[in-house]
Amino acid sequence: MSPRTPYGKAAFAYRCSLWTKLWLKSPFSWLVVLCTFAAARLIVQSGQHSQDIASSVYEKEGMLLAAVTVSWAMSLDADSGWLRQIWTYPQRRIVVIAERYGFGMLLFCAVMAIVSVYMHARFGSNVWKVFMFALPVHATVGACAMVGTILANHSLGGLLGAVGLWAAAVGAGDNLGEYAPAVVHFTGVFRSVVHAGTSAAVPWDGWVVANRFWYMAAFCTLWAAAVMLVLRRK
């Protein structure tokens, strides 16, 4: 499709530049960045073991950040009422939610990259391995925020749904067993993650691989639900 059309790559890049300017000008955005960095700093200075720190920052804190950034991205249209207007253009429905979700996840990655620069002093390049390992969970929480926004026609619905998922997951902790979103604090999992791709690579336990695939499946299910909800809107 031609980049000059409203559906082209150039148009999407232009919208992203506008959304980025809104993000940078918003006091709320800087508050999110500062709170995320401050929380990571406090966790690092808490004296916990390395795997516990990595799990707290990249899994538990990361889940909450994904909920906030995707909800903010969805609010650009949902909270202004423009989302209801977009439902009248069937050919744009899925594109709209895909763009907003994608931008929200880009914001999430940008903020976590800032945190990772600080975390690099303790973990080195392993921070990126832990981040990539936790990404399926982050994507699932973000998709939950997207579905909640569609259902409520307001980003608050998405934020409450995603934060509720985060609170339930963190509160349940290891009681979720093999379905727990935060597993890096287990020594065996942490070693498998940080030594992946090296000569000291540690074999992955089957339940860990199944855990990541489970969250990938949950992500796909939420996206399928979002598409069905959008297509059935009048």
Helix residue ranges, H only, the chain? 9-25, 27-44, 50-55, 62-78, 82-86, 93-123, 126-152, 155-172, 187-194, 206-231
Please state the pTM of the whole predicted model. Answer: 0.85
Look at residue 46 in the predicted model and tell me its pLDDT.
Answer: 86
Query: What pLDDT tens digit does each residue of the chain (234 aa) get?
Result: 434 445 556 777 777 888 888 888 888 889 999 999 999 999 988 878 889 999 999 999 999 999 999 999 888 766 666 666 666 655 567 888 888 899 999 999 999 999 998 888 877 888 889 999 999 999 999 999 999 988 888 888 888 989 998 898 888 877 888 888 989 998 888 888 888 767 667 788 889 999 999 999 999 999 999 988 887 765
Look at residue 143 in the predicted model and tell me its pLDDT.
Answer: 95
Residue 62 lies in a domain: yes
Q: How far is CA 63 from CA 96, 136, 170, in A?
A: 23, 10, 10
Look at residue 5 in the predicted model and tell me its pLDDT.
Answer: 43
- Angle, in degrees to the nearest 10, between helices 93-123 and 27-44: 40
Residue 176 lies in a domain: yes
Residue 135 lies in a domain: yes
d(CA 195, CA 172): 28
Q: Which two tokens stand for residue 80?
A: 């202004």
Residue 3 lies in a domain: no
Residue 2 lies in a domain: no
Residue 33 lies in a domain: yes
Look at residue 4 in the predicted model and tell me its pLDDT.
Answer: 43
What does DSSP assign to residue 175? G
d(CA 147, CA 111): 23
Look at residue 81 in the predicted model and tell me its pLDDT.
Answer: 62
Residue 200 lies in a domain: yes
Domain that holds residue 17: 9-231
Look at residue 146 in the predicted model and tell me its pLDDT.
Answer: 92
d(CA 171, CA 1): 47
d(CA 75, CA 105): 14
Task: Name the domain count of the chain.
Answer: 1
Look at residue 89 in the predicted model and tell me its pLDDT.
Answer: 59
Residue 138 lies in a domain: yes
The beta-carbon contacts of 168-177 under 8 Å, at least 24 apart in sequence, are 169/63, 170/60, 170/63
d(CA 65, CA 176): 21
